[in-house]
């Protein structure tokens, strides 16, 4: 519950004497607040002057000042959600850490997650008004985590012998941290207004990333890799570079061009949803124009990454729409045809690489058979050596976290296939857990869209948009190591949190729950007691 929502609740009525006593008790606290705030600001200013470079110190002081002026928003659930979305969307993972001397790199997203998680736990324990929000997808997540946990004790001897026991535990903890983002976001989504704000915030954040990615494609200058010049952040990784189709592939705020393209593809269904149902702009045609431009910007960002995986993701999402929402799918096809023709005319090399390569199947298949067992190998080339290893431990794998593909301690080759990687680490049991995690939420949301909310198109279409995004992510699992690219995974978790709100707290869900409760009461009223039955 946000600060603004709490303020809307009327205070309980109290006798005049009690009110006076409360005011008298609050007066000393009010006098101390300016003093405490002054001490904190002086301490921050001194730390900036003594410990940080001038640019970083000035940026931190500016952030503190802005935080104080906007304290009612910042120190609220909504403010925490806004900060988390901003960190996920704009600060590249594994690129920056906070300038705090620790044995490990303290990345901003971890700090924000831990702060929000601690705040939620504290509110649940200390604030009687704060209630746990149902998550709907707890059991698929539980099945997935259990499938990973099982792989560790069953491979304990081999993991200890290879010196990978701590790595396996660390990998499991990392999964728990990543999945905690779903629970954190779901607990903050306490009203329809916050949900709509999150949907719009994700789309417009994606538009900003896409525009800077397009700029990066042209100039080879990544704005997100220069945040340390004006934010108090330490750089912990070098800049990357990739080229295809006669030009530079954009990274944006992601860890890799493929991850950037998949993340932006996942936001396109939400942008299309907002073109119909967003509150702003109020005029329907203006709204369609604004979000049509936003969708175009997201597509430009996808193009700047020059990723064939994105083409497959978009194709699968469009096919799903044609099958389940044919009118919408045909409309999207008709709107996309002029853009495709224009793209082939303006950017022939890029479109030939992204789309034309799928028309030459022999060349496409040959490109995926290069350098088997080596880094940068084709995806099909990895299948034979991977399945040879899988045959040795088919059911429980070699243990989660046992495969290290980068760094001096690397012991395995990069697969570019999350499903295959899970099969190697956690075996068939792990793949079953992965299937539960990835497939059950979209299935539940489809049922909501076509059954529970069939008479309320706003919520039905939001559920379908999330299903389309999840389908795109599921498709991408077969083309890159999806769980190793955190930004895209966080976007998935936030969309699933919206889906959980739809299933448990949206107006159609509440109406369906009320109808079921009324039906149970009516059935109980009609059922005769044993004494009535004997008489």
Please give the sequence-ordered ranges of beta strands (E in DSSP) within 227-379, or none if there are none.
234-235, 243-244, 247-248
pLDDT beyond 60 at 70: no
Residue 60 belongs to a domain: no
Of 17-21, 43-47, 376-380, 387-391, the least confident: 17-21
Domain holding 479, by residue range, is 97-512
Residue 443 belongs to a domain: yes
pLDDT of amino acid 6: 43
CB-based contact 520:206 (threshold 8 Å): no
Residue 391 belongs to a domain: yes
Q: What percent of the chain has pLDDT over 90?
A: 47
Could you say which DSSP state residue 92 is in? -
3-state secondary structure of 247: strand
Q: What percent of the chain has pLDDT over 70?
A: 77
pLDDT band at 16 (very low <50, low <70, confident <90, very high): very low
CA distances from 82 to 85, 148, 158, 202, 268 (A): 5, 31, 44, 10, 20
Cα within 13 Å of Cα(450), Cβ side: 8
Mean pLDDT over 142-147 rounds to: 96
User: Model confidence over 319-360: pLDDT tens digits?
Assistant: 999 999 999 999 999 988 887 777 777 666 766 666 766 665
pLDDT band at 11 (very low <50, low <70, confident <90, very high): very low
Mean pLDDT over 201-212 rounds to: 96
pLDDT beyond 50 at 8: no
pLDDT of amino acid 266: 97
**Top-confidence residue, 422 or 128:** 422
> How many C-beta neighbours within 10 Å does residue 66 have?
11
Residue 47 belongs to a domain: no
pTM: 0.83
Tokens linked to 157: 């001897």
pLDDT band at 22 (very low <50, low <70, confident <90, very high): very low
Residue 3 belongs to a domain: no
pLDDT band at 72 (very low <50, low <70, confident <90, very high): low
Residue 149 belongs to a domain: yes
Q: CA–CA separation, 224 vs 126, rounded Å?
A: 39
Mean pLDDT over 387-394 rounds to: 84
pLDDT beyond 60 at 110: yes
Residue 21 belongs to a domain: no
Mean pLDDT over 82-96 rounds to: 93
pLDDT of amino acid 33: 59
**Top-confidence residue, 161 or 505:** 505
pLDDT of amino acid 7: 42
**Top-confidence residue, 362 or 285:** 285
Our count of domains for the chain comes to: 1
Q: Say which residues have a Cβ less than 8 Å from residue 514's Cβ, sequence separation at least 6.
A: none
Residue 115 belongs to a domain: yes
**Burial of 14: CB neighbours in 10 Å, binned 0-12, 13-18, 19+:** exposed
pLDDT beyond 60 at 2: no
pLDDT beyond 80 at 438: yes
pLDDT of amino acid 13: 47
pLDDT of amino acid 99: 84
pLDDT of amino acid 401: 84
Average pLDDT, the chain: 83
Of 40-54, 96-110, 181-195, 319-333, the least confident: 40-54
Helical packing angle, 308-324 and 326-346, nearest 10°? 150
pLDDT band at 61 (very low <50, low <70, confident <90, very high): low
């Amino acid at each position: 519950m946000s600060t603004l929502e709490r303020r809307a609740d009327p205070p309980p009525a109290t006798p005049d004497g009690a009110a006076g006593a409360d005011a008298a008790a609050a007066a000393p606290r009010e006098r101390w607040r300016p003093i405490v705030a002054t001490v904190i600001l002086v301490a921050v200013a001194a730390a900036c002057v003594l410990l940080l470079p001038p640019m970083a110190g000035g940026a931190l002081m500016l952030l503190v000042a802005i935080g104080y002026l906007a304290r009612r928003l910042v120190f609220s659930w909504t403010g925490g959600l806004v900060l988390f979305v901003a960190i996920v969307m704009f600060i590249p993972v594994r690129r920056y850490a906070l300038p705090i001397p620790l044995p490990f790199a303290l990345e901003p997203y971890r700090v924000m997650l831990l702060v929000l998680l601690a705040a939620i736990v504290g509110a649940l324990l200390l604030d009687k008004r704060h209630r746990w929000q149902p998550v709907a997808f707890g059991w698929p997540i539980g099945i997935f985590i259990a499938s990973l946990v099982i792989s560790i004790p069953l491979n304990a001897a081999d993991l200890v012998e290879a010196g990978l026991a701590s790595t396996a535990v660390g990998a499991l903890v990392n999964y728990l941290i990543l999945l905690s983002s779903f629970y954190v976001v779901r607990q903050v989504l306490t009203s329809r207004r916050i949900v709509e704000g999150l949907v719009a915030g994700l789309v417009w954040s994606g538009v900003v990333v896409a525009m800077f990615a397009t700029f990066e494609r042209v100039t080879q200058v990544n704005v997100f890799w220069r945040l340390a010049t004006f934010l108090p952040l330490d750089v912990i990784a070098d800049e990357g570079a990739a080229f295809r189709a006669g030009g530079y592939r954009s990274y944006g705020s992601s860890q890799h061009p493929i991850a950037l393209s998949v993340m932006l593809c996942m936001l396109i269904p939400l942008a299309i949803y907002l073109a119909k149902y967003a509150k702003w702009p109020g005029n329907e045609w203006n709204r369609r124009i604004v979000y049509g431009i936003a969708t175009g910007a997201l597509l430009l960002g996808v193009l700047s990454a020059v990723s064939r995986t994105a083409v497959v993701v978009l194709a699968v999402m469009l096919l799903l729409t044609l099958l389940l929402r044919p009118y919408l799918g045909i409309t999207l096809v008709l709107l996309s045809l002029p853009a495709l023709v224009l793209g082939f005319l303006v950017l022939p090399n890029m479109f030939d690489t992204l789309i034309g390569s799928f028309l030459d199947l022999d060349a496409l298949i040959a490109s995926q058979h290069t350098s088997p067992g080596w880094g940068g190998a084709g995806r099909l080339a990895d299948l034979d050596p991977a399945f040879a290893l899988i045959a040795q431990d088919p059911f429980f794998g070699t243990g989660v976290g046992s495969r290290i593909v980068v760094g001096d301690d690397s012991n395995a080759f990069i697969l570019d296939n999350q499903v295959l990687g899970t099969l190697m680490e956690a075996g068939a049991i792990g793949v079953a857990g992965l299937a539960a995690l990835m497939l059950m939420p979209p299935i539940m949301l489809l049922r909501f869209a076509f059954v529970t909310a069939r008479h309320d198109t706003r919520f039905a279409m939001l559920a379908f948009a999330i299903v389309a995004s999840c389908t795109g992510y599921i498709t991408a699992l077969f083309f890159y190591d999806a769980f190793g690219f955190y930004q895209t995974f966080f976007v998935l978790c936030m969309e699933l949190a919206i889906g959980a709100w739809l299933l448990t707290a949206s107006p159609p869900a509440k109406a369906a729950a009320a109808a079921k409760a009324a039906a149970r009461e009516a059935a109980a009223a009609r059922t005769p007691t044993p004494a009535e039955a004997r008489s």
